[in-house]
Chain A
Amino acid sequence: MSEQFRKVEQYSPKSSPRGSRSPVVPRQDSTGTLKATISLGKNPSIVHTGPFYLIKEPPTESDLTGATNLMAHYGLEHSYNKSSGRKVRDTLSSFLPNLPGQIDSPGHLDNSSLRSVIDKPPIGGKELLPLSSMQLSGFRLHPGALPEQYRLMNQVPQKKKHKHKKHKHKPGDTPSHQESTTTSDVASSAEKKHKKQKRHDDDKERKKRKKEKKKKKQKHSPEHPSGSSHMDM
């Protein structure tokens, strides 16, 4: 019996350091905690220090919430109507029509993506200086056309708008001549010279072929004295 009382006394409020008051437990947020003090002892009572159990302070109201039309609030209605009204084409070439080359192809295929520039920024900070004559000597090129494997890189896909125009393409012609040129005089004169030379060469070839055909005809004709042997009687 006395042992039972001793056990009860071990847990009794008399043995606690704060007496009959409830223990102090450190809490970080007191908004949702028990706003009451429980006192035991001769006159046990519960003293409410707050109105309701777990009552919290309401959140502060703000004027701008998701319930308001934010487009109208920030004056973006006109921009939204404009962007949603007009038809925006999907391709990059429709946004940048003046850029040459194939720009609609994905950048990761030919290692020309902007993302790679961000992930691996190029080494910069060096001063940009014009090239010296020694350095320019490294750019001396051999005359002649590019090999075919590199010509394919320059090809521009033909746009569908030009259906009514008939472009007569020569087999040796490079696609660069198809592009409209608003270039400087030097480049345009180089092009013109190149074209003239090609036409001259083509004409020569045609004349040669015609001569060869004539010779063949003359050999096989009955009027020609140096014709076939069976004509001799």
Chain B
Amino acid sequence: MTSQALENLEAQLETFIENIRQIKIIVGDFQPQGQNVLNQKIQTVVSGLQEIDKLKSQVQDVHVPLEVFDYIDSGRNPQLYTKDCMEKAMNKNETVRGKIDAYRRFRAHLMVELTSVFPAEMAKYRAIRGDERPMS
């Protein structure tokens, strides 16, 4: 449903832009006999805006991240935003995985060292925690 609505909106916007482009050509080198055509085109602009306004209710659920607008404003491809997002997510995932790994190794190492220094206390600690996790 949303994809169909987006396609309709895209088609309507393309038609609108094409109409504006035709007005630009007519106005670029205006001839008196083109006045009626220009008036028709202006009315088409208004009807195009009405059609686009009608379509807005169908795409209200579509959310666009604001960062995409920054890409578009700087003339960049918005697909790069998706690509950058996924790469950032991958990198962050790997960073956090590395941290979790480091903490696990530190905990295991600490348990080994503490057991060697405080065996009785560590035995109590493990009994309290019900720790079934391996030390290494």
Mark A residues whose CB is within 8 Å of B: 51-52, 55, 58, 65-67, 69-71, 76, 79-80, 83-84, 88-92, 94-95, 98-100, 103-108, 113-115, 118, 128-131, 136, 139-146, 151, 154, 174, 176, 179, 183-184, 186-187, 190-191, 193-194
Contacts and interface: CB of A to CB of B under 8 A. Distances in A.
Contacts of A104: 75
B15 to A, nearest CB: 11
A19 B84 CA distance: 67
A176 B24 contact: yes
11 contacts: A65-B96, A66-B100, A67-B97, A88-B83, A98-B14, A104-B75, A106-B74, A136-B43, A141-B27, A144-B29, A179-B21
B46 A65 contact: no
B63 interface: no
A51 B120 CA distance: 13
Interface of B: 14, 17-18, 21-22, 24-32, 34-35, 37-40, 42-43, 46-47, 49-50, 53, 66, 69-70, 72-80, 82-83, 86-87, 89-90, 92-93, 95-97, 99-101, 121, 124-125, 128-129
Q: Is the interface of B mostly helix, strand, loop or mixed?
A: helix
A179 B21 CA distance: 10
B80 A115 contact: no
Contacts of A130: 43, 46-47
B78 A113 contact: no
B96 A67 contact: yes
B37 A91 contact: no
Contact of B22 (A80, A88, A105, A183): A183
A72 to B, nearest CB: 10
B46 A129 contact: yes
A146 to B, nearest CB: 6
Contacts of B99: 66
Given A58-B129, A105-B75, A70 B89 contact: yes
Contacts of A58: 129
Given A118-B69, A141-B38, A194-B29, A83 B83 contact: yes
B43 A107 contact: no
Contacts of A71: 86, 89-90, 93
